[in-house]
Chain A
């Protein structure tokens, strides 16, 4: 059974970089599939941030592309999100997911941007 678990700081200061990791269990990332990040501001809708293939190919939301980096670490069987120059508008629940079919999601982690 494939499971995803997000981890990272719950509070980030404005202008700093948000960093999250998604640990994958029950499946080896190096075997394939796309893995990605989605976020949801409090009381609002879902936003796809980007996806990465196990080989490292990345696809980003054009509206966030200049600030986003998604990477994969096959040795640790995890992938990561970095979002730079954050503002209060980046406050959200961040989910990781297998984005080939969006069939497997992490439980989500709340990240607040505040000084």
Chain B
């Protein structure tokens, strides 16, 4: 089974920009992995921010964007706010029906 790897932790200044990445042990991440990005705050269920690499839900703040970068999926937060401090998980689809979550990135806004 594939292993999906993320940075354990990242720190961003208020108003700053940070990019989280999501890599696969099987090789380059492509649009065929339909990358998702989730935000999870303590005690809460995860909330989807991005699906299919770069698509946003109606509730996704405009400061979040998704892309493919250097063979990985990427989530960029531009103009970080204190409320963006959370754990972020990516999710990749394999063979269209199997899913693997990333290891998670703790983002601190400081």
Q: How far is the CB of B12 from chain A (nearest CB, A)?
A: 21
Chain B 61-101: CB-based contact to A (< 8 A → 1; otherwise 0): 00000000000000000000000000001010000011111
When the two chains form their complex, are residues A106 and B91 in contact, meaning their CB atoms are under 8 A apart?
no
- Is A33 positioned at the interface, with any CB of B under 8 Å from its CB? no
Given A102-B36, A103-B48: A48 in contact with B100 (beta carbons within 8 A): yes
- Is A47 positioned at the interface, with any CB of B under 8 Å from its CB? yes
Tell me whether chain A's interface is mostly helix, strand or loop, or mixed: loop
When the two chains form their complex, are residues B45 and A63 in contact, meaning their CB atoms are under 8 A apart?
no
* A101 contact set on B, CB distance < 8 A: 36, 48, 51
Report the separation of the CA atoms of residues A51 and B51 in the bound assembly, to the nearest whole angstrom: 17
Q: Which residue of B lies closest to A47 (CB)?
A: B101
Report the separation of the CA atoms of residues A39 and B70 in the bound assembly, to the nearest whole angstrom: 30
Q: For the complex of A and B, list the 5 residue pairs with the smallest distance between their C-beta atoms, beginning with the closest.
A: A48-B99, A59-B97, A46-B101, A105-B45, A45-B104
Report the separation of the CA atoms of residues A98 and B46 in the bound assembly, to the nearest whole angstrom: 12
Total chain B interface residues with beta-carbon distance under 8 A: 20
- Is A107 positioned at the interface, with any CB of B under 8 Å from its CB? yes
Chain A 60-90: CB-based contact to B (< 8 A → 1; otherwise 0): 0111000000000000000000000000000
- Is A35 positioned at the interface, with any CB of B under 8 Å from its CB? no
* B89 contact set on A, CB distance < 8 A: 45-46
Report the separation of the CA atoms of residues A45 and B100 in the bound assembly, to the nearest whole angstrom: 11
* A59 contact set on B, CB distance < 8 A: 97-98
* B57 contact set on A, CB distance < 8 A: 103
Report the separation of the CA atoms of residues A63 and B91 in the bound assembly, to the nearest whole angstrom: 17
Report the separation of the CA atoms of residues A108 and B102 in the bound assembly, to the nearest whole angstrom: 19
Report the separation of the CA atoms of residues A93 and B75 in the bound assembly, to the nearest whole angstrom: 26
Given A48-B91, A103-B57: A62 in contact with B98 (beta carbons within 8 A): yes
Report the separation of the CA atoms of residues A29 and B45 in the bound assembly, to the nearest whole angstrom: 21
* A63 contact set on B, CB distance < 8 A: 1
Q: Which residue of B lies closest to A46 (CB)?
A: B101
